Structure formats: C-alpha cells, structure tokens
Structure 1
Amino acid sequence: MKKVLTIAGSDCSGGAGVQADLKTFAANGVYGMSVIVSVVAENTCRVIDIQDITPDMIKKQMDAVFEDIIPDAVKIGMLSGKECMEAVAEKLEKYKPVNVVIDPVMIAKGGHALMKEDSLEFFIKRLIPLAGILTPNIPEAEAITGIEITTVEDMKKAALRIYEMGADSVLLKGGHLDGDALDILFDGKEFYIYSTKRIQTKNTHGTGCTLSSAIASNLALGLSFPAAVEKAKAFVTMAIEHSLEIGKGHGPTNHLYGVYKNGLDYWRLL
C-alpha cells in the first residue's frame, strides 16, 4: 500500500487540516500518517486560538515517520511561523522525500490569519524551493507574487512567477474568481487548465487541504502531475457537491461520500 504523510495543523472540528488530510488519504486508497505542527481551536465559524508545537517535537515526529515508514508523497499544509517552517525544511532536506505537495495555508475560511505576517518572505525563500508542486489560491498567490489576479492571464503570470521562485510546478486555484471553478497548472513547460461548474454552497471548509491531499495521494499512486491534479479536482468537486450541513458557518466537505455510495474501490473510477 502506498503511504502519504501530512505535515499540518490540527482542526478540532474535523473539516480541515490534518483531519481532512487523513480522510482524503483513506478515501483515495493510501495509508495516511501525520505530523502535527499546530493545534488550532476552530470550528465552522471562527478560529479561537492557535498553539504551535515546538520545533523540536515537529522534527522528532518527522524522524519517527521517516526512520521507519518512507512516504511515497508528502503534503504540507499550515506552517504558522519561521520556527516551524525551518524545522520542516531541515528534515525535508535531510530525508529528501519524493512528491512534496505544499499548500501555503495563510487564512482560515472565516478570515483568521494562519501564517504570521512576518513569515511570508521566509516561506518564499525556504519552503517554495522544496515544493514538487505548490497549490496557492488567488489571495495566497497575490501575497506571494505581488501580482493582482483578476483574469486567467493574471493567473498564468503569477504561476510562472512562483515557478521562477523555485517550485517544480504550480497549481493556482481560481475559486475566488467569478464563473466556473477554474484552476491552472504550470509544470515548467506548459499550462494545463482544469474547469468545472461552480457548486453553489457555503460548505467549503477545508477544500484547499482536501485538494492538496488528493494530489499527494495520486502522486503516491504513480500518476503524473497533470493526471494527479485532474483526478484530485474530480475528488474535491464530488466532496463539495455532497458537502455536509454541519455547524453554523462554513460546513465541511464530504470526503467519504464516494466510499459510502460505491464501496472502497470507487476512487479507482474517478
């Protein structure tokens, strides 16, 4: 069985972060492992508080995984500050895992900052060059590049700029623009465009975590970057389409809908 590691924050409400990642791994037929970098007290409405795990403990968690179970892919989500970023970067350089998917989580669905403002430049210089694929949404890409993004051409320009910062490939998610849900992948050679009809729902808590984890799962299973993204987009679209009316705010997606409806082999059909 293929194995995938998530390095991210914990969402006690279960819709995002490590909890969403592990559900996504299970739904896509891979074995999931986790390194917790922050404990986030949040729900569908708000983030109450964040407590970071010490850098030493982050590194020890990574050692524990890599010395025993070598991941076939690694997904990295929320990294709140320079200290945890450096801890993760140090161990990535030591163990040199394949298929590193980095989701630059900056702001929670409710608007709370999850990456400290003074850490962005450090993230750009230290983490982006370690990414096999970086998966920013439009506000994150604007923060990283300084480019205002209002069109597809702006998305392409920003993806190219991030690629030039050192990422092997870039998936820029266009969900914040009007119209269909359009994402653009740049792999250093060409652009790939993925478009699906926008689903009208407020229940989109954890969609970025889910997409990046699905990409990591597909890469672990041996798919190419374009195919991994295509299959992951189909998965997250399904999860949004059947999202859950749980909580008073932005409810979670339904990661396991396909398993519930079609059995454990459904993911092979995506």
Structure 2
Amino acid sequence: IKRIEAFIENQRKWNRERNIIAAESRLKMLDRMEKIEKPKPAPKKINFSLASASSRSFEVLSVRGLSKSFPQKKLFENLSFELHHGDRLFIIGNNGCGKSTLVKILTDREKQDSGVFELGYNQSVGYYDQDQQLLELQNTVIEELWSAYGEKTISEIRGILARFGFYGEDIFKKISVLSGGERARLSIAKMILNGVSLLILDEPTNHLDIPSKETLEFALNEYDGTILCVSHDRYFISSLATGILEIAPGRSDKGFMLFKGGYNAYIEETQQTAPMFAEPEPTVNSGKYTYLEAKKDKNRKRFIL
C-alpha cells in the first residue's frame, strides 16, 4: 500500500493528463485493497491542520461599535462582541433582520455605517455562502482538493473527505453531478483543509437533507477552530452553539441581544426576560382582563426564532 501511495504522489507531481489518469487508477486500486484487507477503524478526531496555539492569538475576532441601517430601517446599532478560540457564535433572527448583512460586513462584502472589526494575530477566515460555492464543476471530488492542496498526503485528503461523508467511489464523482448538500459539505471541507481558524457560515444547512445535516454537524463538532454561523435550524444550533447573537430590529433599543451559552439556555433566559422585548401592554379601560387578552399578551412576550 505504501508503494502505491508513493506512486500516486509522484504521478500527481508530474501533473500531466496521463499521470493524473494513472494516479486515479491506482487510487481506486488502493481504495479496493483497503476495503478488503483493513477492518473499518473506530472514528478518530481529524487533525484539521490548524496552526499551533503559539502562532495564533487566543483572540480571533473583535467587533466594536458596529452599526448598519438602510432607508426606513435600522438593523443594529453599536454592536460589540469578541470571539475567542473555540467559540461558536450563532446569529439568529427573523428573515430580513440583517443576519446575512452582518456576515457580509465581517467578510468585507458590505460596508458598515460605523464601527470597526479586526482579526486577531495570524488568524485566517473561511467564508461559506450557499450561493457562492467556489468549486470547479469539471473536477472530481478528490481532484478539487488535490488541485488546491497538492502538498497534502492522500491519507490527509481522504481522511477529511471521509469525515464529510465522501467514501469509496464517492471521491471520484464529478462535482457537476453532486447534490446541493454534497457541494456544501465539499466547500466547507475545502476551507477546513486550508487550515482556516475562523469559519463564517451563512445558512450552511439550507436545502440539506437530514443525513447531510448530520454529517456536517459531526464534522463541525470535530473542528477545533472558531465558528460564526447564521442559521435558522434549531437542532443544528442547539448541537453546536456556545453563544447566541439575536438580531432583532424593533425588539430592543440597539437591535440585537447577545447571550453567552447554548441555545436551550438562551430560550429559557429570553422567555424569563421577555418583557424587555415585548410591546407595551395596552391599558385595559373596562377593568376586565379577558382570557383572549391574556393569551395575546403571553404570546407577545414569548421569543420566537
């Protein structure tokens, strides 16, 4: 097996069409050999090739006094927060509240009205947008990673592909025939293999089926970097989040609420403190407080994602 791997590496380095074909042929042979001769190993944590802690600061991202408005609509004002290594902050809120606008600002795709943000020392960012997947459709799955990270070993590339649900013959599929969920997983795998320390994800589970969501969730749970993610998927959020940022124009003075902790704890907290987000209670002129009025007030005070 080691001789075959060495042959594949050499063919890849020569980078001619016939060498690539030969490498893929041997890779298929290697794949079949491993299926026959090696028992399936127990799941292991993947080394995502992140730089060591000594070469990167603990502070990943600092946001100070960020504000953004559009005509007739204020999204958020004086937004400040910090992300540290290992944090997983999820941005939630109703459609059109400004979640995607915020991540576009933080990835220099939109201009803020005021405020600043900066990355910590030696930090790098990978940005995923479901509408901007930078994949070469004519490539196979393994070619896509190989072409970008030819210095990686076959084992490293196949290892991360397996963690993102690409096994056996799947790695030889053309990207053009992959489903939306498969392309999403491949895009994020490509960023992680690049060694980014901060993943910024905009609705990564949109249009994914349940198995694809579970695969992505499993891989991100093993990722030891920092995550900033826009999502409306409650299960996905609750399984990953260490913090919640709710963008809520009109429900708080500054248009946002920041919470340190998991999603379930956040729901409990916001239900307890819901009156701070509720509309003013109407004056009851009749002196009677009917069942329907009480129900309406209760619903108004409940947080709804």
What TM-score does the superposition give when structure 1 sets the normalisation length? 0.30
Q: Over alpha carbons, which structure has the higher Rg?
A: 2
What TM-score does the superposition give when structure 2 sets the normalisation length? 0.27
